[in-house]
Structure 1
Amino acid sequence: MKKYRLFRSLLALALAAGLTLPTALAAQSAPPEATPAVVTPKAPVESQLLSDMHIEAAAAILVDADTGTVLFDQNAHEQRYPASITKVMTAMLAIEAVDRGELSLNDVITVGSEVNREVGDGSSTQNIKEGEQIRLEDVLYCALTASANEACNVLAQAVSGSVDDFVALMNQRAGELGMEDTHFANTHGYHNEEHYTTAYDIALMCREAMQHETFRTIVTAKSYTVPATNLHEARELHDTNALVSTWRITGYYYEYATGIKTGSTPEAGQCLAASASKDGRNLISVVLGAENIAQSDGTTLRQSFSESKRLLQWGFSSFSTKTLLDSTYFGGTIPVTLSRDANYVGAQASGEIEAILPNDLDPADFQVTPEFNAESLEAPVDKGQIVGKVTVSNGDTVYGSLDLVAVDSVARSELLYRLDQVKRFFDQLWVKMLLVVVLVLAAVLLLRWLLFGRRRRYGSRRRGGYSGGRYSRRRRR
């Protein structure tokens, strides 16, 4: 009987061990409670500077040229006619061909038969004639400085061989630049119902064009002399942009202006894409659909110039670059398991987020939201290891995210690691199933042994008693 009790005790101990070992090991490696940074929801804050700003035009936009940040938007995605601002794309494609080595600024072009393609009555022109031989650089000045429509067709044939192929290239390049609401139908912007764009798309185009030194040199030139050609005497060109040049129109000159292009048709209204640089900052403005207004003193207020200048001045005085988040931000602590050195590790931001903001907005009023990649970390943890991210936003505007990194290293305990490996082993489904099968088999074998083994022993005792009886009778004789 003692053997049976011992066997049953061992079996019960094995059952208990198999069922409780994973739980015990889990308790050994259970992570502590996390302590994230406190996040207080903040309502969006608005700039009164932006709310109060309005431009006297159908559409307008102001963009930081260096970052692409939109500072001001007034119907900027509304499709409108660009008029001669179109010539920015035409000139840029010619300059890009020069940069690729396909053309040279000194190439002498023989003007082809499409020189006057869609150049209607009243067009701005420099009277470039078919068969005239003129340098590519001089044609660029005719197109951008003097806004000559036929010069754009000359550039188109030089680059693509035909105007149609060049217009297709214009639309292809517009797509590459993300100008989703733009379609070009000609090279110069003379009115066509199928020729349209937006202030936003023009800003994208101008920002790209201003990356080219040749383009910048031309659009900042107040004047330029085209040497005499085989069919024309020397041409004196003067910039049509009154922010750059006072030759045509006075009263709008802006000392910080660096371009870019005027445009006007009865359908488009008065338009101007302008740029300016001041104190290391570069801005691009686009004003579409402005008006020329007769004043009581007999002068004319040309709003494309006055509003562009006002918009640029406002941009320089009302915005500044501010730091929204840097490495001083502490994102809280995250639990660490499998270590005896530390139960937590701190997380701090890595890097810096800056943004150009209206001066009346304080980044301290923005929402800062940290997120951990996991509820806990397993040691070892390396200093600088990415453990999450932190995001800065104001309402629906997200300014960016930084990685959250561990501020210290945490070594691993080999004992806790081994115990965790054992726990993981026993946590596997197939191991649990195998344990159950083994324990069930052990229980069945024990039950069978108890039942059938007892019967065999009982039968043996009965046979031994009968033989003893026979022996006793023989002795009594």
Structure 2
Amino acid sequence: MEKAKRKERKSPQEIFCAARVLRLCALILSIFLCIGTVSEAAARVLPVSEAEENSTNIKLYARSAVLMDADSGRVLFGKNEMEAMPMASTTKIMTCIIALENGNLQDVVTVSGLAARQPKVHLGMRDGQQFVLNDLLYSLMLESHNDSAVAIAEHIAGSVEAFADLMNQKARDIGCYDTFFITPNGLDASVTDQNGNMKVHSTTAKDLARIMRYCIEDSPEKEGFLTITRERSYSFADVEGNRSYSCTNHNSFLTMMDGALSGKTGFTNNAGYCYVGALTREGKSFIVALLACGWPNNRSYKWSDTKALMSYGLTNYEYRDVYEIQELSSIYVEGGVPENQKPYGNAYVEVTLEEGEKELSILLRQDEEVSIQRQIPKKLAAPVEEGSAVGSVKYYLGNELIKEYPVFTKYGVDSMSFIWIVQYIWNRYAI
């Protein structure tokens, strides 16, 4: 019995070895567990690029928002950007640009009873009082006076309704098909159309950004618009000189970020706080449009959202030259006269892109890539004229066409007609 017990006892060396084996097994098990945990974490993190992560981290108060590249008009970030909503006094950027394009700044504007009855915020003008149009535009854009908007509209178009027609036509001209204007000042309003459908004074964040882009980029009066909307304060008097007025710009964004260019605030009970603004810095230009960005007492939400979107654009987007030189093959011309002017062999024509720019700079995020599609036929039917557009090279960002370059023929190719063959034989064999 004692011998059996002695046999069951482990020597110190055996105990030491067994302990090492157990520690080794535990170490191997912990390594596998760690690898599994790391792999699981990697599976969650790796598919999300840094730019995509930044994009998803944009938290906005606005119910509808857009960040737009002002140069191209491309939407870089959108939140419910196609949903039509009231836009309050951001309406006045359209009122201002139409007045600049259709009026004379030194015109004398006579105030009507309708204009004088407009609710606050107002200049306090009186029926029959007269002002210079240029002065009223500062009243319109700096202090957002509702009576000035109506006085301007009536002077330019004869009535508020006729001016609204000008606003809606301009909106369609610049591609804003989800916008409907009723008033020049942006007060909440609705009308019933000929079909009995109620239409509301409204726009979308995307359309509002487009309108701002037109005002600062494309309008022939863009410099006048920028001069007015960037002014910090302005003083003037009525034509008779009986009353003096002073206006202060309420676009606080002008002092919030370097490069702030222009903007317009707005608020009504239905619209909530709204804003549209523009910034240019480091060779990049952005427009932010916000609709329904909080209600009292959340006046500052629009500034927080604007800075967040502008900062996102500045941080995540850079210009890249995506132009690629194209090597274009000659195209077979069916039934054409070969280059050697003989009635045998095949006819081909060389093609080229239009001469000019050899650079295509596009504002892109790090993870965005441009694709190129060549749409060029494999053959053409004779005759072919010199300089004919026979195809194109297109640059796409996703499904969006960014740029299209036409492909032209370098020279013409005649048709090998019966008359051409007879003439060839006559010239070749006639004695």
What's the TM-score, normalizing by structure 2? 0.70
Match of 2:122 among 122, 125, 128: 125
3-state DSSP class of the match of 2:114?
A: coil
Amino acid at match of 2:372: V
Cα distance in 2 between the residues matched to 1:234 and 1:151: 15
Which residue of 2 is the match for residue 57 of structure 1? Answer: 62
Q: Which residue of 2 aligns with 1:221?
A: 231
Give deviations 1:183-238, integer Å, cap 9, x for gaps.
22222112224211111222222222233222111101111112366586422211
Aligned to 1:329: 326
**Equivalent of residue 365 in structure 2, options 359, 365, 374:** 359
In the superposition, relative to structure 1, how do residues 333 and 224 fare at CA in structure 2: closer, same or farther (>3 Å)?
A: same
Shift in Å, 1:304? 0.8
Which of 314, 318, 321 aligns to 1:320? It is 318
Partner of 2:78: 73
Aligned pair in 2 of structure 1 residues 231, 417: CA closer, same or farther (>3 Å)?
Answer: closer
Q: Against the structure 1 CA distance between its residues 417 and 60, is the aligned structure 2 distance closer, same or farther, given a 3 Å change threshold?
A: same
Offset of residue 272 of structure 1: 0.6
CA distance in 2, matches of 1:289, 1:378: 60
Classify the secondary structure of the residue corresponding to 2:128.
coil
Q: Distance between the aligned counterparts of 2:203 and 2:326, measured in 1?
A: 43
Contact 2:132 2:239 in 1 (8 A): no
> Cα offset for 1:78?
0.6
Match of 2:294 in 1: 291
Which residue in 2 is equivalent to 1:88? Answer: 93
Matched, 1:369 2:373: yes
The counterpart of 2:134, out of the listed 124, 127, 137, is: 137
- Where do 4+ consecutive residues of structure 1 move more than 6 Å? 341-346, 377-382, 409-412, 416-420
Q: 1: distance between equivalents of 2:204 and 2:306? A: 16
Match of 1:171 in 2: 168
Listed one character per residue, the Cα deviations across residues 372-395 of structure 1 (whole Å, up to 9, x for unaligned) are: 33426879997x775532223344
Change (3 A) 1:355 1:108: same
Q: Note the C-alpha offset of 1:286.
A: 0.6
Distance 1:141 1:419, change over 3 A: closer
Give the aligned residue type for 2:253: L
Which residue of 145, 157, 161 corresponds with 1:160? 157
Q: Note the C-alpha offset of 1:80.
A: 0.4
Residue 256 of structure 1 and its aligned partner are, at CA, apart by 0.9
Give the structure-1-normalised TM-score. Answer: 0.64
Gaps of at least 5 residues in structure 2 are: 1-48, 191-199, 423-431
1:390 corresponding residue in structure 2: 393
Whole-angstrom CA distance in 1 between matches of 2:68 and 2:277: 11
For the pair shown, the structure with the greater C-alpha radius of gyration is 1
- 1:114 aligned partner: 114
Q: Give 2:45's aligned residue.
A: none
Deviation at 1:347, TM superposition (A): 5.2
SS of the aligned residue for 1:330 comes to: coil
Equivalenced residues, count: 351
Q: Comparing 217-226 with 107-116, which one deviates more in the overlay?
A: 107-116
SS at match of 1:402: strand
Change (3 A) 1:284 1:390: same
CA shift in 2, pair 1:388/1:353, >3 Å? farther
Change (3 A) 1:404 1:155: closer
- Name the amino acid aligned to 1:202: L
Q: Determine the C-alpha separation between the residues in 1 that align with 2:206 and 2:421.
A: 59
Aligned mates of 1:164, 1:138 — CA distance in 2:
23
The structure-2 alpha-carbon separation of the partners of 1:405 and 1:244, relative to structure 1 and needing over 3 Å to count, comes to: same
In the alignment, what sits opposite 2:23? Answer: none
Equivalent position of 2:16 in the other structure: none
Over 3 Å counting, the alpha-carbon distance change for 1:378 and 1:73 in structure 2 is same
Q: Does 1:403 align with 2:406?
A: yes
> Does the 8 Å CA contact 2:273/2:299 hold for their aligned counterparts?
no
Displacement of 1:260: 1.7
Letter in 2 for 1:235: Y
Contact 1:331 1:390 in 2 (8 A): no
Give the aligned partner of residue 186 of structure 2. 189
Aligned to 1:24: none
* Equivalent position SS for 1:258: strand
Q: In structure 1, how many angstroms separate the alpha carbons of the residues matched to 2:188 and 2:372?
A: 49
Residue 90 of structure 1 aligns to a residue whose secondary structure is: helix
Q: Does 1:205 align with 2:211?
A: yes
Distance 1:380 1:200 in 2: 44
Report the Cα distance in structure 2 between the residues aligned to 1:301 and 1:144, rounded to whole angstroms.
18
AA aligned to 1:92 is I
334-343 or 217-226: bigger deviation? 334-343
Provide Cα deviations, 1:320-342, integer angstroms capped at 9, x if missing partner: 3333334x221345346724599
The SS at the match of 1:115 is: helix
Instruction: Say if 1:82 and 1:268, in contact at 8 Å, map to a contact too.
Output: yes
Q: Is the 8 A contact 1:323 1:352 kept in 2?
A: no
Residue of structure 2 equivalent to 1:241: 251
The CA distance in 2 between the partners of 1:216 and 1:380, in whole Å, is: 50
Residue of structure 1 equivalent to 2:271? 268
Matched residue of 1:157: which SS?
Answer: helix
Q: Runs of 5+ in structure 1 lacking a partner?
A: 1-44, 99-103, 246-252, 295-299, 423-477
CA, structure 1 residues 374+420, in 2 after alignment: closer, same or farther (shift >3 Å)?
farther
Amino acid aligned to 1:95: L
